[in-house]
Amino acid sequence: MLKIMELFAGVGGFRLGLEQIKGFEVVWGNQWEPSKKRQDAFDCYAKQFKDKGIHSNVDIAHVNETQFINQDINLVVGGFPCQDYSVARSLSGEKGLEGKKGVLFWEITRLVREIQPKYLLLENVDRLLKSPSKQRGRDFSVMLASLRDLNYSVEWRVINAADYGQAQRRRRVFIFAVHNSTAYYNGLFKKENDSILHKDGFFAPVFPIEEMYVDKHPPREFQLPENLLEVSDEFSQKYLNAGIMKNGAVYTEEVIPKTESFTSLGSILQSNVDESYYLDDAAIEKFRYLKGPKRIERTSSTGHSYYFSEGGMAFPDDVAKPGRTMLTSEGTNNRSTHVVEDPVTKRLRFLTPVECERLNGFPDNWTDNMTERMRYFCMGNALVVGLIERMAKRIKEIEQEEIEQLKIESQQFSLFG
């Protein structure tokens, strides 16, 4: 049984996906929403996973990492926010580098430094690879260098859930890190870089890709600076949608997914929904404007005139395709909100909270402990459970190979020790 720590758990998407596959046990999970009296996501998590492991509802910065020593936690998972990961010298100088306060990635590294799990599986928005705009790739480089310094190697992939059979066109970057002491690292990372990405690595067996890469984005190789402060202050690189980092050496490609049949938005719609979800004439006209093309003259704070332009969006949403990326503003009068033609009444309406749960692969009414607005908000923040289920299968395969290798080494030691 692989013991797991879940960080920034939300309503439990990581855990739900992992527990679809036998052999995983989440022993400790943390969810804390700062500056909020109501802890809706945590309450949902605690309700759905009642009496299964420890549920922590405190600021992760206040969690004492030493409590996890010798707890055999071998997998840490979490979806953390995209923030400014820059570092600086500590005030006293002799303590080395310090990340900016409140940046949650540094809490991950603090816990990992103490626990030293075999594996990490992290999720973030895909713009992480390009941020910040003034020093492209710096934030991801800081992350990779930090994991390198903790003795981990990394494989990442940007995955669009709809490319692999899901009902939502949701793009996220997934980051799999493996400790360099593992048999997986010692075996796999002796192979060629393109073989790891296309065939033998973490993602390719469960998220297949084409043999070729995108011609206009040829593969790139580079070395991360040894000094983390140099990475933060000076380093900039272009990261493509897949890649690996081992011992600071980075190889990255723009890979092409072998797409599977998707789940359509129409197939997850409910029938006989409440009248409150339907749009009146005024709301319909509002959405026609919000989703239509625009070219608007504006004046900046300095008095400079410019034109704001945006293209049109399908209105209503095409139910024959997967849903668009769901945001936390879903269900409001917002350009990004889905508007569908009801399959029974043929009238225009919002998605229901249950339909939003289905877009992310959660069971119906998973979030029914909270207000409707918070249900939309939580699903806008959630990940697609079906993707995690596939990754769980892959981790289980890797762990089984790890166990078998340890048995072989133990037998060899008995014979020749």
Contacts of 216 (CB under 8 A, 6+ apart): none
Q: Say which residue, 335 or 309, is predicted with more confidence.
A: 335
Question: What CA–CA distance (Å, rounded) separates 309 from 78?
Answer: 36
Q: pLDDT tens across 61-78, in order?
A: 999 999 998 899 999 999
Average pLDDT (259-287) is 97
Same domain? For 80 and 216 the reply is yes
Residue 339's DSSP bridge partners are 350
Residue 256, phi then psi, degrees to nearest 5: -115, 120
Which pLDDT belongs to residue 135?
Answer: 93
Same domain? For 338 and 233 the reply is no
Contact yes or no for 188/205 (Cβ under 8 A): no
CATH, residue 110 = 3.40.50.150
Residue 294, phi then psi, degrees to nearest 5: -140, 150
Same domain? For 289 and 217 the reply is no
Same domain? For 210 and 341 the reply is no
Residue 95: pLDDT over 50: no
In a domain, 9, yes or no: yes
Query: Which secondary structure element, helix H or strand E, spans residue 393, and what is its range?
Result: helix 385-416
In a domain, 417, yes or no: no
Same domain? For 148 and 203 the reply is yes
In the structure encoding, which two tokens stand for residue 310, read together? 């945006």
Same domain? For 112 and 214 the reply is yes
Q: pLDDT tens across 374-402, in order?
A: 999 999 999 999 999 999 999 999 999 88
Active-site option among 44, 82, 356, 378: 82
Band the pLDDT of 94: cuts 50, 70, 90.
very low
Same domain? For 150 and 244 the reply is yes
Which pLDDT belongs to residue 404?
Answer: 85
In the structure encoding, which two tokens stand for residue 117, read together? 């799990």
Same domain? For 236 and 114 the reply is yes
Per-residue CA distances from 212 to 51, 95, 252, 255, 290 (Å):
48, 46, 13, 7, 39
3-state secondary structure of 293: coil
Range of the domain at 315: 266-381
Which pLDDT belongs to residue 85?
Answer: 75
Burial class (CB in 10 A: 0-12, 13-18, 19+), 266: middle
Same domain? For 331 and 215 the reply is no
CATH, residue 327 = 3.90.120.10
- Judge whether 82 counts as a catalytic residue: yes
Same domain? For 130 and 157 the reply is yes
Which pLDDT belongs to residue 98?
Answer: 57
The whole model's pTM is what? Answer: 0.93
Short-list 237, 242, 245, CA closest to 256: 242
In a domain, 307, yes or no: yes
Same domain? For 126 and 247 the reply is yes
Domain total for the chain? 2
In a domain, 416, yes or no: no
Same domain? For 219 and 322 the reply is no
Any alpha helices (H) in 23-179, and if so which ranges? 40-48, 104-115, 138-149
Q: pLDDT tens across 199-227, in order?
A: 999 999 999 999 988 889 999 999 999 99
